[in-house]
């Protein structure tokens, strides 16, 4: 083999390695930017809609409207279920918080002040992670575009922290 051929092979390998790296990094960034609860994924939203009807609608409302007078404490001293549509504050939270609250409940000291008591159940043993992401995708799918984008920004910022 002449040294010229060897150089060509070397350059070729280097170029191949470089292209591989570019593709890998692009794929990783794309994955990172994409939420696991995707309101544009019709299959995920359809699954989430049925999970919502069975597990969430009784408290959060058939149309995600929440319980009546949801801003006022109940006689028990606890809070009613807030709406999940754009009129509530669900969209004020990034994905990880919504997922955590649904899976573990309003854990005092983590998602609520210490000692906080809540009627929100923990769904960790009733729903799989995929079902929880699906229900969140469904909830997002009813938000107007502006609210969706605001919550997506929050989710992205919370990842960078
Ligand atoms: C038994 C009634 C009940 C059911 C069923 C229920 N929730 Fe809740 N949920 C609540 C209540 C009450 C709150 C408000 C808790 C508080 O502030 O103490 C709440 C709060 C939440 C919050 C926090 C919202 C915010 O803006 O801070 C999320 C997220 C949530 N629920 C998701 C769900 C999902 C998803 C389901 C179905 C898988 C579900 N909940 C089923 C009663 C319920």
**pLDDT per position in the chain (161 positions), as tens?**
677 788 888 888 888 888 888 877 777 666 666 679 999 999 999 999 999 999 999 999 999 999 999 999 999 999 999 999 999 999 999 999 999 999 999 999 999 999 999 999 999 999 999 999 999 999 999 999 999 999 999 999 998 76
Q: Quick check: CB of 140 below 6 Å from ligand 1?
A: no
CB-based contacts of 1: which residues, under 8 Å, 6+ apart? none
Compute φ and ψ for 154, nearest 5 degrees: -60, -45
Question: 111: buried, middle or exposed (CB in 10 Å: 19+, 13-18, 0-12)?
Answer: middle
* Tokens encoding 136: 């969140």
Could you tell me the distance, in angstroms and rounded to a whole number, from the CA of residue 149 to the centre of ligand 1?
Answer: 22
CB-based contacts of 150: which residues, under 8 Å, 6+ apart? 91
Q: Quick check: CB of 123 below 6 Å from ligand 1?
A: yes
Q: Quick check: CB of 106 below 6 Å from ligand 1?
A: yes
Compute φ and ψ for 24, nearest 5 degrees: -65, -45
């Amino acid at each position: 083999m002449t040294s010229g051929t060897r150089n060509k092979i070397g350059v070729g390998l280097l170029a191949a390695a470089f292209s591989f790296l570019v593709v890998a990094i692009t794929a990783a960034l794309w994955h990172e930017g994409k939420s696991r609860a995707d309101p544009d994924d019709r299959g995920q939203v359809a699954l989430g809609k049925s999970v919502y009807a069975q597990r969430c609608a009784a408290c959060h409302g058939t149309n995600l409207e929440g319980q009546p007078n949801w801003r006022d404490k109940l006689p028990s001293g606890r809070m009613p279920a807030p709406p999940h549509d754009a009129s509530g504050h669900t969209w004020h939270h990034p994905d990880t918080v919504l997922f955590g609250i649904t899976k573990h409940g309003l854990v005092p000291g983590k998602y609520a002040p210490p000692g906080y008591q809540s009627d929100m159940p923990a769904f960790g043993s009733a729903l799989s992670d995929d079902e929880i992401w699906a229900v969140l995708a469904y909830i997002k799918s009813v938000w107007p575009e502006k609210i969706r984008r605001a919550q997506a920004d929050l989710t992205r910022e919370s990842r960078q922290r």
